[in-house]
């Protein structure tokens, strides 16, 4: 009696799990595995040729001009990661703290800070391109108006400022997300702990460093890991603001753009280069998968259970 | 009686099997959704002469067209007929064996086509033609006639005159050029549009013959002159993107736009009252020929595995003929590749006239067959040049050194 019931239940569970599992396999696992396989073949357009082992990997890592571009794009991804860590997560933490302490206007700002997150990336890109327009952009016009005309620059045309401009746009767009996550973490801190601290010290800095920061560690884990993944998958904003070639002269090139351009071709490239493109995709995937797992494990260790 | 039944059955049978061979439904793919109405008109016209063949129009998004097309062809679901790109763009399709090889016996009208037109749709490795060349594009200077008249300037005859006109416009508070170079490929178009005459035909011929490289003083001088004239581009033009540059010209804020003839239709659409003219940027001396940069951008091809190859060939013969080309030129504002076409639009007629003195838009035509492409290199080089991070000599050197990775004549 008991066993039959269990079998029926198991069947029922299996019936529920199988369709989504099949779906995942078909649309997630299979494409990833086939991309792995593609990377080991030679390609003529979209027609598969010979099995060539690791030649595609060798090409993107060690052969001119691919290797140069790989390194260039990778360095930019690293820059994006650290810059966003400060501008997005750092500022997000500060904003969350201000909101949590209910500074004047906190209710309004809670919404205002999160608002850009709901905007589509395309809108954000166009908005910032207009902000940074060399002739009519708000940024340059304001600088000129303040008598700081010498600071007005063609932001998106100089290799020194182009990538930073994109990073700032991204931070503006997404800062609400870490703010929200940190705020939720702060609101979970029990009031007893805070009351106890208040008896010890009045210093906000000590409170933040000794109590708040350690106790929002789970939020930090989520936010850092997601930032890592998105910084190395960075694509939409550079694509929309710098173009697929990472204009000017590769200064805004990141791995995502470089992969896209290599695999599918661009106006200035010869044609599709599916082999090296797949090899790049595999390398990016492995890099993100391995490092983000490591980061998650490491960050988990420092979390404190309340 | 029995005999009659058998022969009747045979006749019916052969008729039935013959029918599908005559009546053919072909599909035609292109990236030009905006031309749908005109193409359907062309197809109706074609159907009048060939009542048993119908052609269906399907369009796909332009930037991913080649990817969509090659994916479909690889999967066996491609169209019978298609618009193709040129040069490297056709080689990726033809090289995979997706396209029907063509020649002058299959399409007699190809006889009169120009050599560069046919070369644009020919695969270099087997010297075989895979598409009927459709249209050419010209790199030149587009100008606002009203602004030119108001400031008392005309099409420049020499480089000095060109600079003087720019100076005059600037003094009058008009931006001489609308061009911006934040969008990568705009750094390539301005080279061909502004400096083809300075490079000269002899340089191009020597380059193709393997007698010289991009370190040639004629090329370096041309790049230097580009830097010189960029003083008349808008303030902060290195941060100005393509769309903004177009708007500066169409809104009448700037007098000239150095670019491709493909701009003309979209400029006219953005501002229908704009009175435009075109000229070839002059050379240093008055008596030197004024050259435009020329390339072919599209062709008509058939699927190698189409079910109705005869019908597809009939269609390709139709698009290679003057009657279609005339409508293709006038209804769709194309500079048709078919010889002897005349143009209703004076602007297009002028472009076709300028095409008679041209050199190819070389970074696209000759140097997009390997990595890094000439386009990659010139775009990066010119961006550095205009940013003050490279000299013209360094631009030429980076082109030569970069291309030597795959371009045999540059290998040492």
Local structure of residue A151 (DSSP, 8 states): G
Compare CB distances from A249 to B70, B371, B380 and report the shortest one's residue. B380
Cβ–Cβ contact A45 with B under 8 A: yes
> Does B405 contact A64 at a Cβ distance shorter than 8 Å?
yes
Residue-wise pLDDT for A80-89, tens only, equals: 999 999 999 9
Q: Which helix (H) or strand (E) holds A259?
A: helix A255-264
The DSSP secondary-structure symbol of B23 reads S
Q: In this structure, what DSSP letter does residue B101 have? A: -
| Residue (of A131, A100, A99) closest to A112 by Cα position | A99
Question: How far apart (Å, rounded) are the C-alpha atoms in residues B86 and A57?
Answer: 30
Instruction: Say yes or no for a CB contact (<8 Å) between B370 and A270.
Output: yes
Q: Is some CB atom of chain B closer than 8 A to the CB atom of A158?
A: yes
- Contact call for A265 and B66, based on CB within 8 A: yes
**pLDDT bracket for residue B17 (50, 70, 90):** very low
**Is A300 near chain B, with CB under 8 Å?**
no
The minimum CA-CA distance between B85 and chain A, rounded to whole Å, is: 11
Contact yes or no for B93/B84 (Cβ under 8 A): yes
State the burial class of residue A129 (Cβ atoms within 10 Å of its Cβ: 0-12, 13-18, 19+): buried
Quick check: B19 pLDDT over 60? no
Chain B residues whose beta carbon lies within 8 Å of the beta carbon of residue A166: none
Instruction: Check whether A49 has a pLDDT greater than 70.
Output: yes
Q: Do A65 and B64 touch (CB under 8 A)?
A: no
Average pLDDT over residues B76-89: 92
Counting one residue from A and one from B, how many pairs have CB atoms under 8 Å apart? 135
Average pLDDT over residues A25-37: 88
Residue B100 has pLDDT above 90, yes or no: yes
Greatest pairwise CA separation for chain B in angstroms: 99
Instruction: Answer yes or no: are the C-beta atoms of B135 and B296 closer than 8 Å.
Output: yes
- A176 vs chain B: nearest CA distance in angstroms? 29
Contact A227, A138 (CB under 8 A): no
* Confidence bin at A263 (pLDDT 50/70/90): confident
| For range B141-149, the mean pLDDT | 97
Q: Are B374 and B399 in contact (CB under 8 A)?
A: yes
Q: Is the pLDDT confidence value at B8 over 80?
A: no
Strand partners, B26: B55
Which has more confidence, B288 or B22?
B288
Is residue B133 within 8 A of residue B118, CB to CB? The reply is: yes
Domain with CATH 3.40.190.10 in chain B: 25-136+295-354, 139-294+365-410
Cross-chain Cβ contact B236/A135 below 8 Å: yes
* A269–chain B Cβ distance below 8 A for any pair: yes
Place of tokens 């177009």: B246
- Nearest beta carbon to residue B95 from set A45, A133, A153: A45
Phi, psi of B30 (to 5 degrees): -150, 170
- For residue B191, CA distances in Å to A242, A244, A266 come to 21, 20, 19
Output the pLDDT for position B23. Answer: 78
Q: Do B185 and A64 touch (CB under 8 A)?
A: no
Residue B126 CB coordination number (10 Å)? 10
Q: Can you list the alpha helix ranges (DSSP code H) found in B296-361?
A: 309-319, 322-332, 346-354
Residue A102, classed as helix, strand or coil, is coil
Which helix (H) or strand (E) covers residue B137, if one does? strand B132-144
- pLDDT per position as a tens digit, B204-258: 999 999 999 999 999 999 999 999 999 999 999 999 999 999 999 999 999 999 9
Quick check: A159 contacting B, CB < 8 Å? yes
* Residue B383 contacts A where some CB pair is shorter than 8 Å: yes
Structure token digits, residue A76? 């930019």
- Asked if A42 is an interface residue toward chain B (Cβ–Cβ < 8 A), one would say no
What is d(CA A240, CA A254) in angstroms, rounded to the nearest whole number? 13
Range with top average pLDDT, A73-82, B3-12, B62-71, B259-268: A73-82
For A100, A210, A293, B298, the CA distances from A222, given in Å and listed in that order, are: 19, 20, 12, 50
How far apart CA B163 and CA B154 sit, in angstroms, is: 12
What lies within 8 Å, CB to CB, of A92 at 6+ separation is A175, A176, A177, A178, A179, A181, A182, A223
Distance between CA atoms of residues B406 and A72, nearest Å: 21
Give the Cα separation of B77 and B73 in Å (integer): 6
Over range A285-304, report the average pLDDT.
90
The whole-angstrom separation of Cα B196 and Cα B291 is 6
Select the residue of A46, A134, A269 nearest B239 (Cβ to Cβ). Answer: A134
Half-sphere exposure of B216 (CA within 13 A, CB side): 19
Mean pLDDT of all residues in chain B?
91
Measured in angstroms, the CA of A158 and the nearest CA of chain B are apart by 7
For residues A265, A270, A275, A281, the Cα torsion angle rounded to the nearest 10 degrees is: -40
For the cut 60, the answer to whether the pLDDT of residue B5 exceeds it is: no
Residue B84's contacts (CB-CB under 8 Å, 6 or more residues apart) are B69, B90, B93, B99, B121, B130, B131, B298, B299, B300, B301
When pLDDT is averaged across residues B328-339 and rounded to a whole number, the result is: 91
CB A84 within 8 A of CB A170: yes
**Hey, is the C-beta of B80 within 8 angstroms of any chain A C-beta?**
no
- The minimum CA-CA distance between A9 and chain B, rounded to whole Å, is 43
- CA B79 to the chain's CA centroid: 23
Instruction: Kindly indicate whether the ipTM for this predicted assembly is greater than 0.95, answering yes or no.
Output: no
* Strand partners of residue B258: B141
Mutation target for A interface from B87, B182, B295, B387: give the one with most A CBs within 10 A.
B182
Measure the CA–CA gap between B28 and B138, rounded to whole angstroms.
26
- Say what the pLDDT of residue B75 is: 85
pLDDT at residue B319 greater than cutoff 50: yes
Which residue, B230, B374, B258, B222, is CA-closest to A157? B230
Residue A174 gets the label, from left (phi > 0), alpha (psi -120 to 50) or beta, of: alpha
Cross-chain Cβ contact A269/B368 below 8 Å: yes
More confident site: B286 or A4? B286
Fold that domain B25-136+295-354 belongs to in CATH:
D-Maltodextrin-Binding Protein; domain 2 (3.40.190)
CA distance A268 to chain B (A): 5
Residues of chain B with Cβ-Cβ distance to A129 below 8 Å are: 241
pLDDT mean over B122-144: 95
Distance from A241 to chain B by nearest Cα, in Å? 9
For domain B139-294+365-410, which architecture applies?
3-Layer(aba) Sandwich (3.40)
* B372 contacts in chain A (CB < 8 Å): 65
Residue located via tokens 């890099």: A287
Give me the pLDDT at residue B192, please: 97
B220 touches B396 (CB < 8 A): yes
Closest CA to A258 of B115, B400, B376, B54: B376
Give the pLDDT confidence of B29-68 residue by residue, as tens digits.
Answer: 999 988 999 999 999 999 999 999 999 999 998 877 888 8
Residues of chain A with Cβ-Cβ distance to B371 below 8 Å are 65-66, 269-270, 273
How many residues are present in chain B?
412
Beta strand segments in chain A, E: 41-44, 47-51
- At B16, is the pLDDT very low, low, confident or very high (cuts 50, 70, 90)? very low
> Which two structure tokens, joined as six digits, stand for B305?
């595995």
The answer for residues whose C-beta is within 8 angstroms of residue A42's C-beta and 6 or more apart is A48, A49, A50, A51, A52, A55, A275
CB of B272 closer than 8 Å to CB of B52: no
Q: Quick one: pLDDT at residue A3?
A: 52
Distances (CA, A) of B45 to B31, B54, B333: 21, 10, 19
As its CATH architecture, domain A56-301 has Orthogonal Bundle (1.10)
| CA–CA dist B139, A68 (Å, integer) | 31
Q: In this model, does residue A250 exceed pLDDT 80?
A: yes
Would you give the distance in Å from CA B109 to the centre of its chain? 21
Chain A positions in Cβ-Cβ contact with residue B383 (cut-off 8 Å): 157, 247-249
Q: Which residues of B, range 169-198, sit inside 8 Å of A by Cβ?
A: 180-185, 188
Percent of chain A surpassing pLDDT 70? 96
Instruction: Please give the residue of chain B at the shortest CA–CA distance from A69.
Output: B372
The answer to whether residue A25 scores a pLDDT higher than 60 is yes
Distance (Å) from the C-alpha of residue B66 to the closest C-alpha of chain A?
9
End-to-end CA distance of chain B: 84
CB within 8 Å of B368: residues ≥ 6 apart: A268, A269, A270, B87, B88, B374, B375
In this prediction, residue A89 carries a pLDDT of 96
Q: Is B375 on the interface with A (CB under 8 A)?
A: yes
From A250, which residue of chain B is nearest by alpha-carbon distance?
B380
Tell me the pairing of strands B53-59 and B24-30: parallel
Residues 90-119 of B with CB under 8 A from A: 91-93, 95-98
Percent above pLDDT 90 for chain A: 68
Question: A49 to chain B: nearest residue by CA?
Answer: B96
Whether B190 has a pLDDT exceeding 80, the answer reads yes
Contact B236 A249 (CB under 8 A): no
- The mean pLDDT value of chain A amounts to 90
Closest partner CB to B375 (pick from A44, A268, A273): A268
pLDDT band per the 50, 70, 90 thresholds, residue A1: very low
For residue B336, which of B350, B352, B347 has the smallest C-alpha distance?
Answer: B352
A298 token code pair: 């490491």
Output the pLDDT for position B248: 96
């Amino acid at each position: 009696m008991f066993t039959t019931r269990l079998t029926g239940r198991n069947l029922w569970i299996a019936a529920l799990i199988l369709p989504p599992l099949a779906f995942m396999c078909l649309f997630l696992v299979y494409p990833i595995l086939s991309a792995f396989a593609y990377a080991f073949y030679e390609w003529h357009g979209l027609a598969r040729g010979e099995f060539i082992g690791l030649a595609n990997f060798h090409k993107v890592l060690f052969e001119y001009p691919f290797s140069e571009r790989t390194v260039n794009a990778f360095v930019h991804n690293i820059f994006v990661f650290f810059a966003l860590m400060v501008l997005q997560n750092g500022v997000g933490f500060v904003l969350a703290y201000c909101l949590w302490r209910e500074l004047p206007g906190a209710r309004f700002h809670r919404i205002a800070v999160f608002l850009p997150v709901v905007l589509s990336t395309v809108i954000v890109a166009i908005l910032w391109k207009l902000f940074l327009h060399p002739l009519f952009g708000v940024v340059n016009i304001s600088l000129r108006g303040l008598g700081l005309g010498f600071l007005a620059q063609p932001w998106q045309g100089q290799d020194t400022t182009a990538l930073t401009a994109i990073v700032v746009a991204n931070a503006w767009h997404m800062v609400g997300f870490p703010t929200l996550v940190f705020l939720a973490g702060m609101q979970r801190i029990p009031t007893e702990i805070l009351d106890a601290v208040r008896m010890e010290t009045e210093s906000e800095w000590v409170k933040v460093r000794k109590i708040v920061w350690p106790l929002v560690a789970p939020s930090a884990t989520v936010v850092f890991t997601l930032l890592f993944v998105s910084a190395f998958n960075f694509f939409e904003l550079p694509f929309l603001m710098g173009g697929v070639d990472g204009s000017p002269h590769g200064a805004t090139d990141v791995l995502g753009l470089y992969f896209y351009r290599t695999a599918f071709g661009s106006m200035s490239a010869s044609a599709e280069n599916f082999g090296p493109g797949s090899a790049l995709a595999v390398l990016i995937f492995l890099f993100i998968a391995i490092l983000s797992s490591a980061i998650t494990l490491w960050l988990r260790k420092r979390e404190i259970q309340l | 009686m029995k005999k009659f039944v058998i022969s009747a059955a045979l006749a019916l049978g052969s008729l039935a099997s013959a029918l599908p061979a005559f009546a053919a439904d072909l599909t035609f793919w292109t990236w030009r959704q905006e031309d749908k109405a005109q193409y359907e008109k062309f197809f109706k016209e074609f159907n009048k002469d060939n009542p048993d063949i119908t052609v269906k129009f399907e369009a796909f998004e332009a930037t991913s067209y080649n990817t969509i097309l090659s994916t479909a062809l690889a999967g066996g679901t491609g169209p019978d007929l298609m618009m193709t790109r040129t040069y490297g763009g056709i080689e990726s399709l033809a090289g995979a064996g997706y396209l029907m090889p063509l020649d002058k016996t299959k399409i007699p009208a190809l006889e009169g086509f120009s050599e560069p037109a046919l070369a644009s749709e020919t695969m270099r490795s087997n010297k075989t033609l895979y598409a009927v060349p459709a249209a050419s594009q010209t790199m030149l200077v587009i100008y606002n006639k009203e602004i030119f008249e108001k400031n008392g300037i005309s099409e420049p005859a020499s480089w000095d005159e060109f600079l003087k006109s720019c100076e005059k416009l600037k003094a009058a508070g008009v931006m001489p050029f609308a061009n911006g170079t934040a969008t990568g490929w705009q750094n390539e178009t301005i080279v061909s549009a502004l400096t083809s005459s300075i490079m000269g035909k002899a340089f191009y011929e020597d380059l193709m013959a393997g007698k010289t490289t991009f370190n040639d003083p004629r090329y370096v001088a041309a790049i230097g002159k580009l830097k010189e004239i960029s003083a008349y581009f808008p303030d902060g033009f290195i941060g100005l993107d393509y769309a903004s540059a177009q708007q500066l010209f169409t809104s009448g804020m700037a007098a000239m736009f150095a670019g491709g003839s493909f701009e003309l239709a979209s400029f006219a659409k953005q501002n229908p009252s704009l009175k435009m003219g075109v000229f070839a940027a002059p050379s240093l001396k008055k008596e030197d020929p004024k050259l435009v940069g020329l390339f072919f951008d599209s062709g008509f091809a058939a699927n190698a595995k189409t079910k109705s190859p005869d019908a597809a060939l009939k269609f390709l013969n139709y698009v290679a003929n003057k009657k279609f080309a005339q409508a293709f030129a006038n209804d769709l504002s194309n500079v048709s590749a078919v010889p002897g076409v005349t143009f209703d639009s004076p602007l297009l007629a002028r472009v076709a006239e300028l095409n008679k003195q041209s050199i190819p838009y070389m970074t696209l035509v000759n140097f997009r067959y390997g990595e890094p492409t000439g386009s990659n290199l010139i775009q990066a080089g010119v961006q550095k040049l205009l940013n003050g991070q490279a000299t013209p000599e360094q631009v030429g050197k980076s082109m030569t050194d970069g291309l030597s990775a795959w371009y045999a004549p540059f290998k040492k």
